Structure 1
Amino acid sequence: MSDKPGFLRRALDGLYFASGVAAALCLIAILLLIVAQMVARWTGEIFPGAPNYAGYMMAAASFLAFAAALNGGAHIRVSILLNAVPEKIKWALEVWCFGIATATIAYFVYYAYWFVYWSWRFNEVSQAQDATPLWIPQSVMVVGGGILLIAFLDNLISVLFKGNHRIGDNTVDQSFGE
C-alpha cells in the first residue's frame, strides 16, 4: 500500500490548516482594528463598534484555532498517565478520552447551532452603536466548533482503527541545554 495520504486525509489536514490560517487572520484583524481605533482617536474621529469587532475577532480566532491546535499537540493532555500504563490500557484510555471529547463537542455544536439560529430568528443585534446582527459573529463559534468536532472524530477513528491518534508530538527536546 502507498505511503501517500489519500484524498480524505489531505482534505482534513487542509481543513485544519485553513482553520488555523483563518484564526491567524483574525488576530491580524484585531491588530488592524486597534490601530484604526488609535488613528481615529488621534484625528478626533469616532470608530463606533471597534471594541466589539475586536471581541468578535478574538472569539473567532479562538474557535477557528481549536482544531489546528489539537492536531498540533498544543492542547493540554495528560500524557504522564498514558505513558505509565500498558499499551492495551493506553488504547482504551485514548478511546475513552476521544469518545468523551467527541461527545462533548458534538453537544456543544448542537446547542451552539440553535443559539445562533434563535439569534437570527429574533434578529438580535449588539447593544453598541454598530448594531451588528449577533448571528454573524456567533456563527463562527459553530463553524470552529464543527471543525473541532471533525478533528476529535478523526482522532477517535484513527485510534480505533490504527491504534494511534494523529496529534502531533509536543514533547520537549531532551537534548535541550546540553
Structure 2
Amino acid sequence: MRRLLDALYDSAAALAALFMVGLLGMVLLSIISRQLHFHVPGTDAYAGYLMAAAGFMALAHTLKRGEHIRVTLLLNALRGSMRKGMEVWALGVATLLAVLFAYYSCKLAWQSHEFHDVSTSSDATPLWIPQLSMALGTVVLAIAFLDELVLELMGRRPRPQSDELLRNE
C-alpha cells in the first residue's frame, strides 16, 4: 500500500511538472507572438489554467515531503501525549478540510460540465476541463492528509530533522 500511495503522490508531482512545462510554453508563445506581430488567442487563459493545475497537483507531494508551512511554536513546546494529541487534532482537522475541499472541487467540475459552463475569455474553454486538475489535486491532497493521520495514529509518521524545521519556518 505504501508503494501505491507514494506512486500516486509522485505521479501527481510529475503531472505538476508537466503543467509547469506547458505554462512555460504558453508564456514563451505569448512573448514570441507579440514580438513577431501575430496573435494566438487564449494564451493568457491557458497559462492561468496550467499554473493552477501545477499548483493543485503539487499539493500532496509537497505535504508528504514536509514542505508545507507549519507553525510549530506551540507544538515544539509540547512533549509526549500532549504533542501527539495536538498532532492528531491538527491532522484530523486538516483531513476534514481537505476532504471538504476535494468534495466541493469535484462538485464544481461536475456542475460546470452539466451546465456547459465556458470561460468568458476569448478561448471559450469548457471550464470543467481545467477544473479537473483542481478536483484531482484536492482528492490526492485529501488522501495524503488521511495517510498522514493514519501514520500519526500508528506512531509511524516520520519526525522532521532539526535542519528541516529551520527550513520550514
Say if 1:166 and 1:52 are closer, same or farther in 2 by CA, change over 3 A.
Answer: farther
Query: Residue 67 of structure 1: which of 47, 60, 79 is its match?
Result: 60
2:9 corresponding residue in structure 1: 16
Where does residue 103 of structure 1 map in the other structure? 96
The aligned length equals: 165
Amino acid paired to 1:19: A
* Counterpart in the other structure of 1:165: 157
SS in 2 for 1:75: coil
Alignment of 1:152 onto 2:141:
no
Q: 1:27 corresponds to which residue?
A: 20
Match of 2:133 among 129, 132, 140: 140
The verdict on how the C-alpha distance between 1:46 and 1:166 changes in structure 2, with shifts beyond 3 A counting, is farther
Partner deviation per Cα, 1:41-72 (whole Å, 9 max, x = no partner): 22221110000000001110110010011111
Q: What is the DSSP-based 3-state SS (H/G/I as helix, E as strand, rest coil) of the residue aligned with 1:38?
A: helix
- TM-score between both structures, scaled by the size of structure 1: 0.87
Is it true that 1:38 corresponds to 2:50 in the alignment?
no
CA contact (8 A) 1:64 1:144 kept: yes
Aligned-pair Cα RMSD in Å: 1.5
- Range that drifts further, 73-82 or 147-156: 73-82
Distance 1:142 1:167, change over 3 A: farther
Separation in 1, partners of 2:158, 2:105: 26
The sequence identity of aligned pairs, in percent, is: 41
Cα separation, 2, equivalents of 1:168 and 1:46: 49
Question: For the pair shown, which has the larger CA radius of gyration, 1 or 2?
Answer: 1
Q: Deviations over 1:114-148 (max 9, x none)?
A: 11111100101111221100000011111000000
Structure 1 spans left out of the alignment, 5+ residues: 1-7, 174-178
**Residue identity opposite 1:101 in structure 2:** A
Runs of 4 or more, structure 1, over 4 Å off, are 166-169
Q: Which AA in structure 2 matches 1:54? A: A
Flag the structure with higher helix content. 2
| Structure 2: tracts of 5 or more residues without a match | none
